[in-house]
């Protein structure tokens, strides 16, 4: 088993459209701060997201290969193991991936990569599931969202799982209003209408299995599971 953190040539040295969204997570000690903020004690959506992602991962029989990109500090590593799947962890931040490798037993981990989702060093249809968690809501343009969805679709044989910010929520419009009153730059600029997400996913060759809103109409947090639109027989 190869669990060294790989830094493939041409993947992180060349700045991509998505790299700008990760700049603050590459600062010193960012991995420690992120791990703390996503712990069960600190993060109020922890159990909800574990249950939700776990349900979607179990759409595949045990033994599937999951790419977690960006993996952050590896918060889903244990969950993937519990589902009986194999895992490839990847993140643009070397510090994040290195932190993830400290999470104890990793017999199910096939490898760790330091790479960008815009330029992943992997062959098409090389994994069963691509998990894109806590990235899509940073994407502020249709072009950047298309990159995420198209690359995830390219790599996945079966499913693409993403989290996103939903514009149709009190939280989104409340934050926009407060920032406008303070004459500050608006927050949550990566939020998207669900209808626009469906359209973008369809263009990328993805069909919705389930779109889940944490607290419909109130919470900005949402997630979706898409099935890869098949153009031929699925290979195991």
DSSP conformation letters of 133-199: -SSGGG--SHHHHHHHHHHHHHHEEEEEEEEEEBSSBHHHHHHHHHHHHTT-PPS-TT-B-HHHHHH
Q: What is the pLDDT of residue 27?
A: 79
CA trace torsion 101, 104, 108, 110 (10° rounding): 20
Domain boundaries of the chain, sorted by first residue: 5-228
CA angle at 158 for the pair 69 and 234, rounded to the nearest 5°: 135
Residues of the chain with pLDDT under 50: 1-3, 9-13, 233-236
Contacts of 99 (CB under 8 A, 6+ apart): 31, 32, 35, 73, 74
Count of helices and strands (H, E) across the chain: 7, 8
Give the pLDDT confidence score for residue 197 in this predicted structure: 98
Angstrom CA distances, 229 to 119, 131, 151, 153, stand at 22, 17, 14, 9
User: How far are the Cα atoms of 51, 167, 185 from residue 141, in angstroms, in the given order?
Assistant: 30, 14, 16
- For 175-218, the pLDDT digits (tens) are 989 988 888 887 888 999 999 999 999 999 999 999 999 999 99
Domain over 5-228 is classified CATH 2.40.30.10:
no
Size of the chain, expressed as the number of residues it contains: 236
Integer Cα distance of 227 and 233 in angstroms: 14
pLDDT for the residue 105: 59
Residue the block writes with tokens 């990569």? 113
């Amino acid at each position: 088993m190869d669990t060294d953190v790989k830094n493939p040539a041409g993947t992180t040295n060349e700045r991509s459209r998505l790299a700008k969204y990760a700049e603050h997570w590459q600062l010193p000690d960012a991995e420690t701060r992120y791990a703390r903020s996503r712990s069960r004690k600190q993060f109020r959506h922890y159990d909800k997201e574990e249950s939700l992602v776990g349900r979607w991962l179990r759409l595949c029989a045990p033994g599937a290969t999951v790419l977690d990109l960006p993996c952050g500090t590896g918060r889903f590593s244990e969950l993937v193991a519990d589902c009986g799947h194999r895992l490839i962890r990847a993140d643009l931040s070397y510090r994040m991936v290195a932190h993830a490798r400290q999470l104890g037993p990793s017999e199910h981990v096939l490898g760790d990569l330091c790479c960008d989702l815009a330029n992943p060093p992997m062959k098409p249809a090389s994994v069963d599931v691509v998990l894109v968690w806590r990235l899509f809501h940073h994407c502020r343009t249709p072009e950047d969202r298309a990159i995420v969805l198209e690359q995830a679709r390219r790599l996945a044989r079966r499913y693409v799982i993403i989290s996103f910010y939903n514009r149709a929520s009190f939280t989104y419009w409340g934050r926009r209003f407060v920032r406008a009153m303070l004459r500050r730059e608006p927050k949550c600029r990566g939020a998207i209408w669900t209808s626009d997400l469906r359209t973008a996913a369809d263009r990328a060759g993805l069909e919705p299995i389930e779109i889940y809103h944490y607290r419909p109409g109130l919470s900005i947090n949402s997630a979706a599971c898409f099935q890869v639109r098949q153009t031929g027989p699925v290979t195991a």
